[in-house]
Amino acid sequence: MNEFDMIEKYFLPLTMGQAGPAGLRDDAAILTVPAGRDLVVSSDTLNEGVHFLSGDTPENIARKVIRVNLSDLAAMGADPLCYQLNLAFPERPGTNWLERFTGALMENQKAYEIYCSGGDTTSILGGVMSISVTVMGTVPSGKAVRRGGAKGGDLLVMTGPVGDAALGLKILQERDFEKKAAMGQACPYALQRCRRPEPRVDAAALVREYAHAAVDISDGVLADIGHICEASGLGAYLSLGGFRYSKDVRHALREEYITIQDILGGGDDYELALAVPERNVETLLEGLRKLNLSPFVAGVFESDISGVHVFDTDGFEVKIETTGWVHF
Amino acid sequence: MNEFDMIEKYFLPLTMGQAGPAGLRDDAAILTVPAGRDLVVSSDTLNEGVHFLSGDTPENIARKVIRVNLSDLAAMGADPLCYQLNLAFPERPGTNWLERFTGALMENQKAYEIYCSGGDTTSILGGVMSISVTVMGTVPSGKAVRRGGAKGGDLLVMTGPVGDAALGLKILQERDFEKKAAMGQACPYALQRCRRPEPRVDAAALVREYAHAAVDISDGVLADIGHICEASGLGAYLSLGGFRYSKDVRHALREEYITIQDILGGGDDYELALAVPERNVETLLEGLRKLNLSPFVAGVFESDISGVHVFDTDGFEVKIETTGWVHF
């Protein structure tokens, strides 16, 4: 089985018979953006040993690469359309791996109503796999939500609790076997959240209807809220009293498996942080709850300050030591 | 200088102040496809040690990654718009490398009137760099040229001579120092063609106006013409008598630095192979010559055969041993 056979057997079905990719027979895919809609495009690369573990299952890798990309679209208020899949393999993948990987891609495609529009498969030296996805979505013209649209007085709405992904990662990285087992048993939801990002794709229509600005929590809670502040030229007060946590995170805070600092520095929750004018907040919260999300108001944006300032439940400002993940 | 500083200093200018990428401050770029045009999308990944040499200059790498992607658009008859740039670095690149790499990207952007719409920079283990580009272009609605449109009786038109890239690569890989020097001195154009792909972007409008089907020569001359045949459900007769070669390739054939088999198996010339109805051939050739190209008629597509059959200048069928590059 050579490269072309591999593409035909495993990757061709991912185009789901769409006319645009035309059975991957062409040099490029031809896509039609419906009249009255803008195209929204985002890319994310995941590398073995950096963004996913070397021993990770093909299902986890497939799920993650699709979902982190869809999360970026959701943060723009865009509806997903399709994606380009660029795979660099250190050696020819086995048929079992290919079946499971592309099977999981297909499952996710169906769940989010997208298809694969093309891509590239290559060989790479150095022993690690690299996966780049460029995802495309659409939004009614002029309705995409940027990070830079927040206004002073907008409330900071989170689409759901944060900290689970950071806790899950902490469990995976724990070296004390007994402690790891205890943590894992007590916090199964956090482990799942860390392995299975849930992009808030369903919330995209509400985001573009009700939010001035949005970002997905991928770099870190504070870092990403900081991105809104910087782009909008203002600051934010975060009130930990308003934060909601999952049962697992509450347990982990009590047991000191995790600190508030870990939560605020942690990314990968893929909830959205939104800047919402006060008049829209109740309608938005109600809409998000109807999607089975657990949104909450976490603070307020202020035009006369800069940066993100965190206050604890007693109203004291908290000193923050870490703000998020940087690659270099 | 951390990741964000690096992006701001070196990659932000590549957006050329376009509204879509909005200073790379958002989770995604917002693009408008003009009414009456389709979007054409293609991806290519280049990995260090596989698609470019480890010691290659940043200028060569930048040029190649942009141009091989643009070549795919040209083959569809599409005009380039912008591209997503995904970079995986084994270690933090030095400022000199970054300046030269992004400087070369900028130069190519200006030459081809495109901009960078976004992307991702990541770290990767294993010691080799990986670059994935997803390029986007547009074409008048319904006018994109596919591989599958060739009809029996269409003539096979090449936009220019082939074999130079294969010859250039042969020179680079020659281990006999004296022979390498002699080859290099005699064939400077071939060396340049191998380092500097020339995508036929200018020919896109002619391609969509006059060709039934098109492909760019990237995998190999025969392999790529074979792709048209497969997709169109027909075959082709290639007549070597009609082929045109550069001065360098003619010299290399005489000196036996290279064989016809090497030329037909070689890719990376980035000329276009077109299936053109006879009535359009003269107008197309004239148009291509006005673009300073040296097109020629290389054969004919036939509906009652399959595969690509090569005939030498004396009319004898040539047995072909290799058809192109596969990764696995």
B8 exposure class (CB count in 10 Å sphere: 0-12, 13-18, 19+)? middle
Mean predicted confidence (pLDDT) in A157-180: 95
Cβ distance B31 to A48 less than 8 Å, yes or no, reads no
What pLDDT does A19 receive?
Answer: 87
User: What number is the average pLDDT over the span B236-240?
Assistant: 96
Q: Is B63 or A194 the better-scoring residue by pLDDT?
A: B63
Give me the interface pTM, i.e. the ipTM: 0.91
Q: Tell me whether A122 touches chain B (CB under 8 Å).
A: yes
Longest Cα–Cα distance of chain A, Å, equals: 65
A144 in contact with B, Cβ within 8 Å: yes
Give the residue-averaged pLDDT of A134-140: 97
Q: What mean pLDDT comes out for the span A234-251? A: 96
User: Which range, of A49-58, A121-130, B141-150, B267-276, averages the lowest pLDDT?
Assistant: A49-58
Of B38, B43, B46, the CB nearest to A118: B43
Among chain B residues, CA nearest to A4 = B326
Q: How far is A88 from chain B (nearest CA, A)?
A: 8
Q: pLDDT tens digits for B23-57?
A: 888 889 999 999 999 999 999 999 999 998 888 99
Q: What is the pLDDT of residue B324?
A: 55
SS3 A170: helix
Give the distance from residue B81's alpha carbon to the nearest chain A alpha carbon, in angstroms: 13
Q: Is the pLDDT of residue A175 over 90?
A: yes
Q: Which helix (H) or strand (E) holds A70?
A: helix A58-75
Chain A residues with CB inside 8 Å of B327's CB?
3, 121-123
**B221 near B299, Cβ under 8 Å?**
no
pLDDT of residue A24: 84
pLDDT at B236 over 60: yes
Tell which A residues from 244 to 303 touch B, by Cβ distance under 8 Å.
none
The per-residue pLDDT of chain A, averaged, comes to 94
Put simply, the answer to whether A35 touches B33 (Cβ < 8 Å) is no
Distance of alpha carbon B151 from alpha carbon B149, whole angstroms:
6
Contact B30 A39 (CB under 8 A): yes
Q: How far is A243 from chain B (nearest CA, A)?
A: 24
Which H or E run contains A321? none
Q: What is the mean pLDDT of chain B?
A: 94
HSE-up of residue B242 (Cα within 13 Å, Cβ side): 17
Own/partner long-range contacts of B309-316 (Cβ < 8 Å, ≥24 apart): B309/B235, B309/B236, B309/B237, B309/B238, B310/B222, B310/B238, B310/B240, B310/B264, B311/B237, B311/B238, B311/B239, B311/B240, B311/B241, B312/B240, B312/B241, B312/B260, B313/B240, B313/B241
Asked if pLDDT for residue B1 goes beyond 90, the answer is no
Alpha-carbon gap: A283 to the closest alpha carbon of chain B (Å): 25
Q: Number of A to B CB contacts under 8 A, please give it.
A: 239
B257 vs B55: CA distance, rounded Å: 25
Contact (CB, 8 A) for B325 and A3: no
pLDDT at B262 over 50: yes
The answer to whether B328 contacts A22, with C-beta atoms less than 8 Å apart, is no
Q: Which residues contact B239 (CB under 8 A, 6 or more apart)?
A: B298, B299, B311
Per-residue pLDDT at B327 exceeds 60: no
How confident is the model at residue B313, as a pLDDT?
87
Per this entry, what is the length of chain A? 328
| Average pLDDT for B217-234 | 95
The predicted-structure confidence for A214-226, as pLDDT tens digits, reads as follows 999 999 999 999 9
Topology classification of domain B147-318:
Phosphoribosyl-aminoimidazole Synthetase; Chain A, domain 2 (3.90.650)
CA distance A261 to chain B (A): 21
- Strand A155-158 to A296-302 pairing: antiparallel
Listed in order, the ranges of chain A carrying CATH 3.90.650.10 are 147-318
The answer, yes or no, to whether residue B326 has pLDDT greater than 60, is no
**How far does CA B292 lie from the centroid of its chain?**
18
Average pLDDT over residues A12-41: 92
The verdict on a CB contact (< 8 Å) between A124 and B29 is no
| A3-140: CATH number | 3.30.1330.10
| Contact (Cβ atoms closer than 8 angstroms) between residue A145 and residue A213 | yes
- pTM of the predicted model as reported, rounded to 2 decimal places: 0.92
Among B119, B144, B328, the residue with its CB nearest the CB of A3 is: B328
Question: How confident is the model at residue B101, as a pLDDT?
Answer: 97
Predicted confidence band of residue B114 (pLDDT cuts 50, 70, 90)? very high
Per residue in A19-32, pLDDT tens? Answer: 888 888 888 999 99
The B residues from 29 to 88 touching A (CB cutoff 8 Å) are 29-33, 35, 38-51, 71-73, 75-76, 78, 84-88
Q: What is the 3-state secondary structure (H, E, C) of chain B?
A: CCHHHHHHHHHHHHHCCCCCCHHHCCCCEEECCCCCEEEEEEEEEEEECCCECCCCCHHHHHHHHHHHHHHHHHHCCCEEEEEEEEEEECCCCCHHHHHHHHHHHHHHHHHHCCEEEEEEEEECCCCCCEEEEEEEEEEECCCCCCHHHCCCCCEEEECCCCCHHHHHHHHHHCCCHHHHHHHHHHCHHHHHHHHCCCCCHHHHHHHHHHCCEEEECCCCHHHHHHHHHHHHCCEEEEEHHHCCCCHHHHHHHHCCCCCHHHHHHCCCCCCEEEEECHHHHHHHHHHHHHCCCCCEEEEEEECCCCEEEEECCCCCEECCCCCCCCCC
Which residue is closest to B91 within chain A, CA to CA? A328
Minimal C-alpha gap between B240 and chain A (Å): 25
pLDDT value of position A77: 98
Average pLDDT over residues A78-106: 96
Would you call B2 an interface residue with chain A, using a CB distance cutoff of 8 Å?
Answer: yes
Is 70 exceeded by the pLDDT of residue A16?
yes
Record: contact B132-A45, CB cut-off 8 A: yes
Say yes or no to pLDDT of A327 above 90. Answer: no
What's the pLDDT score for residue B322?
59
Which of B31, B75, B120 is facing A43, going by the closest CB pair?
Answer: B120
Is B323's pLDDT higher than 70? no
Which part of chain A is CATH 3.30.1330.10?
Answer: 3-140
| Cα separation, B72 vs B270, whole angstroms | 9
